[in-house]
Amino acid sequence: MNAFNPTPFNTEGPQPLVRTTPAGAAYPVHALGQLRPAVEAVQGQTQANIAIPAQSALSVAALAVQGFANVETLGGVRPINLYCMTLALSGERKSSCDGPFMEAVRKFEQEHSNAQRVEMELARNAHAIWDGQRKTILTSAKMKDKEKAIAAKADLDALGPEPTPPPSMDRTVSEPTYEGLIRKFAEGQPTLGLFSDEGGQFLAGHAMGRENRTKTLAAFNDLWQGNPIQRTRAGEGSLVLYGRRLSIHLMAQPPVVREFMADPLTAETGFLPRFLICEPPSTIGTRLNANTRTDKKALGAFSDQLKVILETALPMDEKTRALKPRLLALAPQAREVLVQFSDKVEVAMQIGGIYAPVTGYASKAAEQAARIAAVLTLWADLEAKEVSAATMSHAVDLAEFYLGEALRLHGASNLSAETDKAEKLRVWLLETWPDQIVLPSDILQRAPITALRERPTALKAIGTLVEAGWLVRLDDNTEVRGIVRKEAYRIVKQ
């Protein structure tokens, strides 16, 4: 029988399982233009990292203005809707940051919903009358009288098409399926926002399930491009919707998003590179009440501007509700700023260049800058005819920040599922487990995640930690806690 002897082992020390993600650049809040005061106001009252309210403000502004114009880019005319994704742990006050910017949208939806109640009741009555008349006519048409059949057809033609209810005034959806989103576009407004402060539920939900993921990703890619929505289903015929716009802001916890990012399909289809992604540093532990700041004036000004834009009639076809956005041009100096940025990124995408690992994001950076510039321009002046050089410079700063975040997070998303479990076990052993010795049974009974309580998974994680030097297997039949053990490990704590 061997007694445990805590002598040093592996003088070089254990090796890290994952590469430490480097700190990101500070969010360029100076580039937000007229959105900046409201963003700083929300940051002051929540003390969250300023990138979180900035993402919310930018995405809500995109929702508000996306139906009014397309923007000139170096690759042609493009829509100005934005897809945003914010990675932040629970407790980072994501909802508190999002709420003030969404408040005016929710109020707009509620007010119009209340106003439509009478209109909806009238529409239901009209439909009931139409349906009763149609059934009467069809009953008459079933009689074996040729003249009555001819008369019934004439009556049906005179009856006209089925009455439809007024379109919903909702501007947001939270967790739609692909079919649900199409229905919303068909029956409601041509400009919508998919906003969720629990974005992990959407990424892990039905729409993104294995059977639906390819279809859903392709649909969202088309909407980002401004392409028509096309659907053909057996028994329901075909449907084509033109002139629809969708902006997205998903707030989710990093582990959920990283697992989603690790799926090659999300990158190969170009879905994720269409997003402005950021994972801001945590401010938990620094948010003291004495540092809280409020600025009701700035938030009021944001809400007032948002209401004005939402109440402005969208340029669209009255029958199909297809948007007819005007062209927002680039001032010559703005175009030059964009050209310089595009060339800079292009050179950095070559083999060995800084952006070589994230060419999907980098190839869209100039267009993202143009879209952001258009949103900032129209938020300040809905009737603006062109993007100024100053606004484009700010948009380039923002696009460069998001591109830097995509590069920074690229390595973290490539973490394998097995390594991720081993890393969680390592952290738990070093920070929580009270003893210097651990048994496989300890891990099976008390591991920090359920997957590690399955013996095959636990043994793989233990093997990974042994190989990296974080666990050292003790000799067989070593006595631990007064009992001879067949298998036990010493935890290497630095």
Q: How many domains does the chain have?
A: 2
Q: Are 374 and 69 in contact (CB under 8 A)?
A: yes
Predicted pLDDT of residue 382: 97
Predicted TM-score (pTM) of this structure:
0.77
Q: Which pLDDT score, from 0 to 100, does residue 7 have?
A: 41
Contact between 271 and 215 under an 8 Å Cβ cutoff? The reply is: no
The pLDDT of residue 292 is: 93
Within 13 Å of residue 430, how many CA atoms lie on the same side as its CB? Answer: 14
Is 339 in the same domain as 440?
no
Same domain, 192 and 287: yes
SS3 state of residue 5: coil
Residue 196's Cβ-side half-sphere holds a number of Cα atoms within 13 Å equal to 16
Among left, alpha and beta (phi > 0; psi -120 to 50; other), residue 119 is: alpha
Token pair, residue 405, equals 């975040």
What per-residue confidence (pLDDT) applies to 286? Answer: 93
pLDDT value for 163: 63
- C-alpha to C-alpha distance for 82 and 402, rounded to whole angstroms: 12
Query: Do the beta carbons of residue 489 and residue 471 sit within 8 Å?
Result: yes
Does residue 441 share a domain with residue 327? no
pLDDT at position 196: 86
If asked whether residues 218 and 108 sit together in one domain, one would say yes
Residues 350, 351, 357, 359: what is their CA dihedral angle, to the nearest 10 degrees?
30
- Tell me, what's the pLDDT at 233? 60
Residue count of the chain, please give it: 494
The mean pLDDT values, 10 residues at a time, for the chain of 494 residues are 44 70 85 97 96 97 98 97 93 92 89 69 66 72 66 70 72 78 88 85 69 80 91 65 95 78 73 93 92 94 95 93 96 98 97 93 97 98 98 98 91 65 89 92 89 89 92 92 92 84
SS3 content of the chain, % helix, strand, coil (to 5): 55, 15, 35
Question: What residues make up the domain containing 487?
Answer: 2-17+417-491
- Establish if 146 belongs to a structural domain: no
What CATH number did the domain enclosing 476 receive?
A: 1.10.10
Structure confidence at residue 223 (pLDDT): 93
CA distance 104 to 303: 5
The verdict on residue 108 lying in a domain is: yes
Q: What is the pLDDT of residue 112?
A: 76
CATH number of residue 34's parent domain? 3.40.50
* pLDDT score recorded for residue 4: 41
What does each C-alpha distance from 31 to 70, 75, 122, 398, 424 come to in angstroms? 21, 24, 48, 7, 38
DSSP 404-471: HHHHHHHHHHT--HHHHHHHHHHHHHHHT--SSEE-HHHHHHH-SSGGGGSHHHHHHHHHHHHHHTSE
What are the residues facing 276 on neighbouring strands? 84
